[in-house]
Every structure is written in C-alpha cells, then in structure tokens.
Amino acid sequence: MLYSKLAELYENLGNTTKRLEKIEILSKFLEYLSEKDKDILYLLNGEIYPTYDERKIGISNQLVIKAISKASGNSPDKVVQEWKKIGDLGKVAEKLINTKKQSTLFLKSHLTTDKVIENLRKLPELEGEGTIEKKLILITELLISASPIEALYIVRTLLGDLRIGIQESTIRESLAKAFFNSDKESSKIIQEAIDHSNDLAKVFLISKKGKISEFDKIGLEVGKPIKAMLAQKVKNIEEGFKAVGKPCAIEYKYDGFRLIIHKKDSKIKLFTRKLENVTKQFPEAVEYIQKYVRGESFILDSEAIGYNKKTKEYTPFQAISQRIRRKYNIEKIREELPIEINVFDILYYNGKSLIKEPFEKRTQLIRKIIKETPYKIVSSKQIITDDLNKAEEFYKKALKDNQEGIMMKNLSTAYQPGNRVGHMLKVKPSEKDLDLVITGAEYGTGKRSGWLSSFILSCMGKEEQEFLEIGRVGTGIKEKDEQEGVSFNELNDLLKPLIIKEQGKDVKIKPKIIVAVTYQEIQESPNYSSGWALRFPRITSLRPDKHLSEIASLQEIEKEVKGQKSN
C-alpha cells in the first residue's frame, strides 16, 4: 500500500475528536485492507511490532532533528528554531519538506508502507560503532522520499507520538464494525483475542475471516507477555463485601511492583505490567522459580517487594523501584536491595490455560506448586472469610507488615487480562494518593537554575489519549541523589529528552513519566484543563512499572471529589 493512503487515514482520524466517527473511518479502512498489509495494524498503534515484542524504535529528538535537516537542506539550528515555535517535530518536518519539494519540483511520492516498516524495523537492530550514522541514513532516506504529510507522520511514528487519538479499544471496535457489524459479543471476543495475543495483526487476520469460531485458535503463549488484571478501589471492607460477595478471598495488597512470571521447560522470563522484559534485572527471581516452583510450564502473577536484609522488615516500593530500570551492576544492587516474590494468581499451568477457571481453583493450585520460602518466594498471604471482624484483623496485620492494604477477590471469577475489574478490589488507608503523568514543567531559578523544578501533573481525560492538567508539584523531590526517594537529577534525566515544546521557562513534556502523588484534597480550579486542582500535592515515587492507561482518570477524580463532600 502507498504510505500516502495511511497518512491520509491518520489525518482523517486526527481531525475528529468523536470516538464513533473515528470507528467509522477506521472500520472502512480495515474492511478494504489486504491480508498482506497486516503489519499496518502495528503502525496504527504507533508501533512496528506486536505489543509483546521487546524491539522498539527508540529514536531521540536530536537524531530526528538531524534527519529533518539533511532531508530538507536546512541547518539543525533552523529545525530547532521551528520546533520551539511550532512545538511538534512532525509539523516541522511537514513544513520544511514542503518548502524543499516546492523549490526542487520533486515528483509525487511513491513511498510504500512496506518501505517505511522495513526501514523502521532496521533501527532497533543496529548496534556498535557507526550506529547513529546508519540510523540517520535510514530515517533521512524515508524523509527524502516522503511528501510533506508523509514526513509529518513518519516523524511522529519515530517519536512515538502519532496524535491521532486512537487506542487499542478504538481498533477493537473498528474490527468488530468492519467484520461483525458491531456485534457486542464479537467485540468482547476480539478483546479477549487481543488480551491473549497482544498482536493486533494476528487478530486482524482472524477478524477478516468473519467467523467467531476462528478466535478459538488464539490462546495464551508462555514466553509472550500478557497484560495484568487490575483492581478497582473501595473505601472500606464492608463496601468490598457488598461488591465481591461472601465469602471472598482477602490478600495483602503488597507495596511492590507487579512481576508476571513465565516458565517453559527450563527457560524463565519475567515481565512488568508494562510488558517489559526484566529477567536480567532479577537473577535471584529466576533462581527461586527454578528451585521452589513445581511445573514444566506456567504463567504466574505476582508482586515483588523489598525488604531490609538485617531487620527483615519490608520496605516501600520507592526503595526498590530503581531495580526495574537498572541494567548494570546487577549483583551489587541485588545484595543492597533484595526482593521477595509473592505469587497471587496463576494463568497457565503445564500446557493448559487457566484464565477461565474460577479464582478459588487457581489460588488452590498456587499453594500446591510453591514451596514456601520466606524472603525468596511465597504464595500471597490470604484468608477466605465472610466475617467482617476477621477481615478487619487481617487488614490491620497487612498494614503492620508495611504493606499498602488488602485485596478482596470474588472466588468464582475468571482472570481478565488488561481489565480493571469489579471482582478484585483494593482497600487502603484514607491517605489520598493518585498515579498521574507529568506533562509539563518550569525551569527553576537560583540553586535550581537549569533544572526543571515545578512539574505539571495530568490525569486521563474522557477522550482517548487526552491528558488533563490537575496541578503543579515541586515537593517530595530530593536535592541529592544519595537521599532516599526521587531526586531532581533523576527526574530531569528522565524528562528532558521528552520535551516537545519550549516557551520561555515553560516546557511541554511528552506524557510518559508516571509518578505517585499524595495530596490533601481536590478543589475546583479554572486554571487547569481538568477543572480541578490538587491541594498540597507531593511526589512520593516514580512508577516505571505502570502504563499510561493506569493513571487516574477524570472520572476517578470526580468520584474522589464526591467522596470528600460526603465525609
């Protein structure tokens, strides 16, 4: 397919904010898309491979600036000047490539999607000496061949910022409309297929056959990461019992990070809830699984928590969060920041998917196959009860053990990957906290000169890929790297490469860095696009283990406000 047709689709999708219109536009496109062009499904999501694939484009703003400079015949300074003015390197490429083509009378572009995918897929494969130059050649080749509108979306794809307002759910509904006339049951089955495979092209090929029975061919595959099931929140245990029923399973809500464990024969892989492979970062976890878990093949859902080697007390998430990102000196940090794995669910065992089995059966199996070894690997602390007093006692014990609270789980329900379900609930103390994304900042003055020091926090809006501001934060961040917690240096190192626009001291930042924030209350505010502002917000930790889809939504914010009024 000509890449111009895909660029036209991007443009049409980006020109409407209405979800139903997006589905209408995309479904017509998918209906006529050929099987040989299946990889375009990845491009619709701003990717070049299935979600589970570890290979990512990973291109910096600076390299894109050089490529635009070479392709358009403008100096890098001119490109940067336009970028600061426009705030979108894609739009800069469109403008400067347009000027170039007008002046040189270039012929109409015949760039194909196959060529774009071919060049983009070479980027993550390159390593060693001369890598930067080779990447520059591949990107420049595409931009030279591109029309202005194609250049816009090539650059946005390179930077992971398509700005067309669609997510996986839009693609799901478009597939259902194109091939099953928007049947609700088919939409549900398509979502299950996406959740099981994390491969949109594979799901597209089966959808195109128009037979629901064909989806039976898509199942869990050990070694391919799967999205974690997520919990909803309730105020107290009584509310939890009403929602999940009695009796129910009550477990610790651990103050750690999600670790989804895959084993096939002797090969073990560890994934975060963002589907990142962190096997190398946790060699001890691999050892524990080999030694203390019985089974030829399995997928376990667990939480890794830190503890103090001397006192054996459990430590908060922020104490071990750096282990997720650390790729060097693994043995040293392993000794300094040990972890214990707490297994609370099983999705697959010895050749059989257990996703549709009731939780009661799954949790019993966990306790049969794990040799309980404290401070290495254990099954989650659990009681099954319908007694409020016993539940309250268990809750107090969880807090005494330095954990966040408890989980309440319906015993008869299935595992639903990637969904925030109402049959698994979390109960935490009344301290108010939210996971939010940083979307802007301001350069500091005095001793903070040169640092981004005041950060704009955003929640998820009602539209897909819409981020709404809900306040500024500058507290909770440490001046020195050696102090426990998030430091200004660490935060600046993460945020500066994500700057997409500068205006004086203010910068706009690509939504990527998620932080846990505590606050006193939420107030109405015309100063922020959400209509709300956090009072006395404070950053408590980075959440590199979480996906953007998991940040607090406007709906959740408004629910919190209602809760404030009723208290």
Q: How far is CA 493 from the centre of its chain?
A: 20
Listed residue (113, 100, 112) closest to 71, CA to CA: 100
What does DSSP assign to residue 396? H
Quick count: other Cβ atoms within 10 Å of Cβ 317? 21
Output phi, psi for 248, to 5 deg: -140, 165
> Cis before residue 247, ω within 30 degrees of 0?
yes
Q: Residue 163 contacts by C-beta under 8 Å, 6 or more apart in sequence?
A: 14, 88, 90, 156, 465
Q: What is the 3-state secondary structure (H, E, C) of 140-180?
A: HHHHHHCCHHHHHHHHHHHCCCCCCCCCHHHHHHHHHHHHH
Element (H, E) at 136: helix 131-145
Listed residue (482, 486, 380, 488) closest to 443, CA to CA: 488
Listed residue (177, 178, 188, 170) closest to 22, CA to CA: 170
Q: In the chain, count of helices (H) and strands (E)?
A: 21, 21
Place of tokens 């794995």: 341
From its phi and psi, is residue 223 left (phi > 0), alpha (psi between -120 and 50) or beta?
left
Q: What long-range pairs does 122-129 form, CB within 8 A, spacing at least 24?
A: 123/57, 123/58, 123/59, 124/55, 124/56, 124/57, 124/58, 125/55
C-alpha dist (Å) from residue 337 to 253, 308, 340, 381 = 20, 8, 10, 22
Tokens, residue 361: 């059966």
From its phi and psi, is residue 463 left (phi > 0), alpha (psi between -120 and 50) or beta?
beta
Listed residue (212, 207, 143) closest to 174, CA to CA: 207
Determine whether 332 is an active site residue: no
Tokens, residue 2: 């000509």
The residues that bridge with 521 in the sheet, in sequence order, are 535
Q: Which of 202, 224, 253, 510 is catalytic?
A: 253
The residues that bridge with 380 in the sheet, in sequence order, are none
Rg (CA), the chain: 25
Q: Which segments of 281-419 are extended strands (E)?
A: 297-307, 314-315, 339-349, 352-353, 377-379, 382-385, 405-409
The residues that bridge with 533 in the sheet, in sequence order, are 523
Tokens, residue 167: 């997510």
Quick count: other Cβ atoms within 10 Å of Cβ 341? 27
Output phi, psi for 480, to 5 deg: -115, 140
Catalytic site positions: 253
